[in-house]
Amino acid sequence: MRYREVELLATKTVADSGTETVDVDVLEPITAIIVNLDLTNGGSAVADAPPESIISKIEIVDGGRVLVSLSGQQAVAAAVLERGGWPDHWYDERANSGQSISIPLFFGRWDGDETFAFNPQAYSNPQVKVTWAKASGHATGGVQLGVMARVMEDVAAPSQALFWKTVRTFTSAASGEEPTDMPMENPWRRLLIRAYLTDQSPWQILTRFKLDCDAGKFIPLDLTTTRLINVMRTLFGFTSHKSTIRRADNAAVQPWLGSDTQAQVTPEAIDAVARIWLAGGSVGVLRAINTAGGYLGVGTYEVLFSGTLPHSSFCYQFGDFDIAESWFPSAAYKGAKLKLTQGAANAAVAIILQEAIRQ
């Protein structure tokens, strides 16, 4: 096998909002497609607006058929859980500073998986579509977009690929059980559920996860949020990312990790002492004083965040990571309902499924 890095879209400045459609004009199997996004902050500091937050949708389509569909934050969460580390990024809230992220879409169980990979020849007109809109604090004319493909040469055309697709999005209620009918055509490898509200932790938004197949015939998943997080810690461990923030004492800080979050804070000023108080939640509070004990105004801090739920996303792995025969055989059942018990209103909830698709 030989690898080839292909520039499907050379990085270019794009409009402040829009949709870019990029042809997948290669014939060889693709193990990953990477969306590169750079942006520039305006003349004031921009809080809690990392580059992926401006992407509402990353899709891979073939004519009218949608193969892959994720938001930028969902795609980052999926990548973190797949490879164990945060994608290459530079988060910087300072005025006029640049920010960037490279968001990979993986189609196999590992880099170079010859069995599971995206086969462009199996489709008539495969394309990548990226939809975005910059935040108000980002500079006008400061968004740059590029798309890369990691191509495998000298391998047979793969018959299957792992594709992530959004099943449903909804707004949560304060209580009650929200059912969702799940697709049943292809084996499921992973289930991703993102539950986000600025001032609520994901485990407050959703309190129980239950998957009911054929009206109680088989229930592969019935866990409280606490127990699901326990499973995630065991399977995926912790992840981390670094950010440069610009805040004053007692300001809220979003670490983009929804559970077990910790923060290591390094002040730019040599006479400052700072920490971020998280108390297990998804939003922290910066506490910053000078060496004389006075509370500080706006300052710059480098922060290393670590935690369990990337971008407030729960994940359930069906079977073994790498053994396809152990994944959930949805076609063996007539139907399946995912039942989410709610605990907080007005949160954005997304249900995303990773399926093994025959090409």
> Predicted confidence band at 22 (pLDDT cuts at 50, 70, 90)?
very high
Query: What single string gives the DSSP state of each residue in 282-336?
Result: SSEEEEEEETTSPBP-SEEEEEEEEESSBTTEEEEE-S-SS-GGGSB-GGGSS-E
pLDDT at 136 over 80: yes
pLDDT at 280 over 70: no
> Predicted confidence band at 198 (pLDDT cuts at 50, 70, 90)?
confident
Average pLDDT of the residues in 257-277: 91
Coil, helix or strand at residue 122: helix
Average pLDDT of the residues in 88-104: 98
- 182: its two tokens: 């799940």
Using a 10 angstrom Cβ sphere, with 0-12 exposed, 13-18 middle and 19 or more buried, the burial of residue 327 is buried
Tell me how far apart the alpha carbons of residues 222 and 20 are, in angstroms, rounded to a whole number: 40
Tell me how far apart the alpha carbons of residues 105 and 12 are, in angstroms, rounded to a whole number: 20
pLDDT at 153 over 90: yes
> Predicted confidence band at 152 (pLDDT cuts at 50, 70, 90)?
very high
Our CA angle for 92, 93, 94, nearest 5°, is: 95
The type of residue at 252 is A
Query: Residues of CATH 2.70.9.30 domain(s) within the chain?
Result: 2-158
Average pLDDT of the residues in 284-291: 94
pLDDT at 186 over 80: yes
Q: Where are the alpha helices (DSSP H) in 138-198?
A: none
Predicted TM-score (pTM) of this structure: 0.96
pLDDT of residue 258: 84
Q: Where are the alpha helices (DSSP H) in the chain?
A: 72-83, 202-205, 225-236
Share of the chain above pLDDT 90, in %: 96
Average per-residue pLDDT for the chain: 96
pLDDT at 281 over 70: no
pLDDT at 259 over 80: no
CA–CA distances in Å: residue 338 to residues 74, 178, 209: 19, 8, 7
Average pLDDT of the residues in 41-66: 97
- 7: its two tokens: 């520039």
Tell me how far apart the alpha carbons of residues 38 and 22 are, in angstroms, rounded to a whole number: 17
Average pLDDT of the residues in 72-92: 97
Please give the class, per CATH, of domain 2-158.
Answer: mainly beta
> Predicted confidence band at 123 (pLDDT cuts at 50, 70, 90)?
very high
